[in-house]
Amino acid sequence: MPKRKNGELSEGEKRYCMERVRGKSLAKSYEAAGYAVTHSKYAAIRGAKIENRPHVQKYMAELRESVWVQNAMSIAEKRSLLAEVARAKPEEINEESPIASLSVDGEGNRSLQGPKVSDKLKAIELDSRLSGELSGEDNKNQVLIQLVNDRLEIPTIDLESSNEN
């Protein structure tokens, strides 16, 4: 086996790090990386020894950060979700909708609700802030938002009656 340079990870160490970042335990990561295991308690101990190596810790930190970056929403995704909330029509809301909320009353009756008017207005406001349309205090916009909020209502969809159709 060729000698590694100081700080260079072996293939086994890389596989181990990937498994740990995915959430596996020390022992399971050690086994999944392809290391020989005689007993699971020894696998955990050996996994901990691998994890204590500075170059392995550095690599795991980089992996965790890249996973975090991949999972973070982009501005376009945020604005798209806000637009979906703002444009939601009660009759189009179903249980699979990411913007639906399910409520259950004291008798066990379920009802599906879309965003309230206040939710829609907040989504519009947040989208406007993200786009840069609102800067500083704009009292005219606040008055307009309150007027719209006072006039609109979004009905609740009753799942019991909608399932009968």
Which one, of 82, 64, 164, lies nearest residue 125 by Cα? 82
Better-predicted residue by pLDDT, 41 or 162: 41
Can you tell me the distance from the alpha carbon of 165 to that of 160, in angstroms, rounded to the nearest whole number? 10
- Residue 81, exposed/middle/buried by CB under 10 A (0-12, 13-18, 19+)? middle
- Please give the model's pTM, rounded to 2 decimal places: 0.44
Query: What is the structure's pLDDT at 155?
Result: 47
Report for 6-20, 64-78, 97-111: range of highest mean pLDDT: 6-20
**pLDDT given for residue 156 in this prediction:** 47
Residue range 55-97, pLDDT digits in tens = 999 999 998 888 776 777 778 888 888 999 999 888 888 878 8
Task: Look at residue 48 in the predicted model and tell me its pLDDT.
Answer: 93
